[in-house]
Chains A and B, each alone.
Chain A
């Protein structure tokens, strides 16, 4: 078991190091969406269903329609925030705990613009 643990230890640093170096070497993909397009809360409110779900979070606008089936919590958890300003939902998950850095980074892939103040 000691040999297995040592092998796991070496593997861990090999993989973590490789991921880190790759992140430095591989250029970030260019967004295909017009990330600076501006939407109002009224625009967002029109997309309020499980199949068409937009949210405003921390000044950014996201289209999570394709992500809802992948979200670990039941769909109803996210649908409750569709068409709304959802910063509170993202930052508290309903019980005070913020989403992980990975979740915030994942959300970036669904960003479609910024929130226009009305």
Chain B
């Protein structure tokens, strides 16, 4: 039986805390001799724990296809990576201040000397901390939602943080005996740097597939479905998974050569790969007009939204707008395999003009045994509410629920389902945003 994602996530948090826990073995009575020594010890522990959080976050950033599965999909893995990074950030901010407070017991000069010095090891620590601050700042959304590509480029400073942070620790760390020190930071640093090297260098040789655009089908205002013909071996994937698409089309007004995540809409057995793209930014807007015949690279697959088993039992699917895509992929697959389902699909859109795949969804619902489709129009029915869900899915409390759509719909649906008696563990969500 596969290990549950929350158990894996807990194990990752414990792994990040392990060096600090080991450091406690080497705490001596001298560390409690005065308030200054206690602060010094806490400063060292926060540095060890903070660096460890960053190294584990770096290890999780490799994005090897399949690596995200035990974590519940790439979005869940990114959330874990993000929380580890924030934890490391807070701990590493506390680290120099606690050391300075500890040194203040001797003199103010000693406190300031512990913070500001021209010594190389200390400068390496500052370089690591400043790089960390620079790439963490967009996370705080001080200037609104950060530009995705700019944020990704800025995030490469993480490499500087890891390299300089390790150099600083290797030169100044004194909590562990020398052999432990070298083994601990050497091995965890090597793993983190290997993961980053994979992401930045080797990923282009593994997990990427070449395709050519064979058809561009406009579906609604600002939404297209691209059909892709494989140029070499085709991608193997499950319904509901997503890929990173990188176009190689000079005529694009924006986003050429940039990678962006998009959900696959085709059935895995289909001869062509199909990807739905909604214009949400410059690059996705430009992709609405990509020429047939253009080459693209696809990296993936990622995500673990819909279950491995093709018989998910009694289910309720709630889709919002472009969030219909993973469910469409699943329905196309079920139809191609003649699988029966027990699914109530509630598809929420603003109005008829925004209804995607209207004819095909109706046809699939009519073809697949046990599949019922209900469309919820926001402009006609108002926001999705308990009454609407109860009317169209009276046995909701006995069903497992999958939701894909914008954050407000996820939030609203969760509240409706909790009121209806659906257990939190029976609600699976997939958000659009990866930041």
Contact = CB atoms under 8 A, between A and B. Distances in A.
Interface of A: 1-2, 4-6, 8-9, 11-12, 15-16, 19-20, 22-23, 26, 28-29, 69-75, 93-95, 97-98, 100-102, 104-106, 108-109
A50 to B, nearest CB: 12
Contacts of A28: 107, 109
11 contacts: A1-B87, A5-B136, A19-B108, A19-B112, A23-B112, A29-B107, A100-B122, A101-B122, A105-B106, A106-B103, A106-B106
A8 B93 contact: yes
Interface stretch (B31-39, B297-305, B420-428): B31-39
Nearest to B117: A101
Contacts of B96: 16
Contacts of A20: 112, 115-116
B185 interface: no
B30 A73 contact: yes
B115 A104 contact: no
Interface residues of B, number: 47
Main secondary structure of the interface of B (DSSP, over half): helix
Contacts of A74: 28, 30
B28 A109 contact: no
B344 interface: no
B153 interface: no
B181 to A, nearest CB: 8
A40 to B, nearest CB: 27
Interface of B: 28, 30-31, 33-34, 36-37, 40-41, 83, 86-87, 89-90, 93-94, 96-97, 99-100, 103, 106-117, 119, 121-122, 133, 136, 139-141, 171-175, 178
Given A73-B30, A93-B174, A101-B117, A12 B109 contact: no
A73 B28 contact: yes
Main secondary structure of the interface of A (DSSP, over half): helix
A102 B110 contact: yes
A102 B111 contact: yes
Contacts of B178: 94-95
A109 B107 CA distance: 8
B307 to A, nearest CB: 29
Candidate in A2, A70, A74, A101 with the most chain B CB atoms within 10 angstroms: A101
Given A23-B109, A71-B30, A73-B30, 8 more contacts: A1-B87, A16-B96, A19-B112, A69-B30, A101-B119, A105-B107, A105-B109, A109-B107
A23 to B, nearest CB: 4
Q: When A and B form their complex, which 4 residue pairs have the shortest distance between CB atoms, in order from nearest?
A: A102-B114, A105-B113, A101-B117, A105-B110
Contacts of B173: 97
B37 A70 contact: yes
Candidate in B109, B119, B122, B178 with the most chain A CB atoms within 10 angstroms: B109
A72 B37 contact: yes
A72 B28 contact: yes
Contacts of B110: 102, 105-106, 108-109
A97 B172 contact: yes
A22 B110 CA distance: 12
A99 to B, nearest CB: 8
A24 to B, nearest CB: 9
Contact of B103 (A16, A98, A102): A102
Contact of B115 (A16, A72, A98): A16
A19 to B, nearest CB: 6
Contacts of A1: 83, 86-87
A15 B40 CA distance: 16
Given A1-B83, A105-B107, A109-B106, A16 B136 contact: no
